[in-house]
Amino acid sequence: MKAKDNTSKTGKAVLVLEDGSTFVAHGFGATKKVSGEIVFSTSMVGYPESLTDPSYKGQILTFTYPLVGNYGIPPYDLEKGVLKYFESDDIKVTGFVIHELCRQPYHWASTRTLDEWLKNEDVPGIFGIDTRKLTKKLRVKGVMLGILEVCEEGEEPDLEKLLKEVETVQDPNFTDLAKQVTVKEPVRYEAGGNKLAVVIDCGVKYGILRNLLRRGFDVVRVPYDFSAEQILDLKPDGVMISNGPGDPKQCVKTVEAVRELLDKDMPMMGVCLGTQILALAVGGDTYKLKYGHRSQNQPALDLETGRCYITTQNHGYTVQRDSIKDTGLEEWFMNANDKTVEGVKHKSKPAFALQWHPEASPGPYDTEFLFDRFRKVAGG
């Protein structure tokens, strides 16, 4: 189905980085000014899933792939009460940076253009810049803070003013970003199964919920600051520690709850931020990567079998390898590129965690078997 391009035009747009770099091009989506941490993804597809991934909260996302928007935006269909084609209910990125914007998408499931969607969700975007040049800057210096402004048609951005403003932009990682994306009250999803999984929602991707439901788990999604006692009152067969945005050390109550659940030998699986939280719960440490892992082709090497899996990832922090010695955790997977920790498992308790997203969405499905492993440790 060919979507009609009826989006009102926007004016110029500018992206300003904390190092003084400026990129002036064309705006799309909402006409507004935002600030955040500028990050990049080398993914070639999956912009609806990426833009709705809560792990991008507080970030201005750059896609290195040149053409974006060519298959439009899918409908809000549901699968067992969960959105089928998106990873949350709305766009979570602060802003979007691309090289070329497709204004006339062609796909049987397209319901509107990327431009229309961003405008409806009040999210600004910029297109027409050299995203490879921007990415090279981020790879050399590391992720940077910045400002993205989309002007009304006919207006000009005030570069001198923006260059002064960018000097005082607050780092979103110093705030409790998980608090901004977690549910406020428990939400239940029914699969009609005989097992219950509690998901500690630090910014859970809906792909995780869909995978649990497909495996016969009924799911209760709880706020990230739920106590171990509140979680145990639900009588779960297993607990999922979800992905989420920002610095894991901001999730103090989550770490405390996971520590107590470990003491109770609760079967647990962590994804992305959940890996870092599990490590912190046993006394380990985490640190921020220079520019993070955000792509669909990250190689995760199984240290037991020697097999390498191609995975989809979105994280800026990881576990400090030496810090988990003598904690009960052992390294299970390692990134074949930069040798960082990609997965851990407990030596004596039914708990494990992966730094990547086994649910894909978007990306490869090679490691969905890890949800089957969670089902097994949760009692079958």
The values of phi and psi at residue 199, to 5°, are: -105, 115
359 is catalytic: yes
Compute φ and ψ for 200, nearest 5 degrees: -75, 110
Tokens of residue 175, six digits: 């705030």
Selecting among 272, 293, 315, 342, the annotated active-site residue is 272
Is residue 295 helix, strand or coil?
Answer: strand
Structure letter (DSSP) for residue 73? B
- Kindly name the residue from 37, 49, 87, 359 that is annotated as catalytic: 359
Q: Does residue 260 carry a catalytic annotation?
A: no
- Distance from C-alpha of 355 to C-alpha of 341, rounded to nearest angstrom: 8
Pairing of strands 95-98, 124-127: parallel
Q: 31 Cβ partners below 8 Å, 6+ apart?
A: 10, 11, 124, 150, 151, 152
| Angle, helices 252-263/273-281, rounded to nearest 10 degrees | 60
157 conformational bin, left if phi > 0, alpha if psi -120 to 50, beta if neither: beta
The count of other CB atoms within 10 Å of the CB of residue 302 is: 15
Is the separation of the CB atoms in 243 and 271 below 8 Å? yes
3-state secondary structure of 230: helix
Taking phi over 0 as left and psi of -120 to 50 as alpha, with beta for the rest, 326 belongs to left
Q: Which of 16, 21, 37, 15 is nearest to 166 (CA)?
A: 16
**The tokens of 11 are what?**
């004016």
Active site (annotated) includes residue 99: no
Catalytic residue IDs:
272, 357, 359
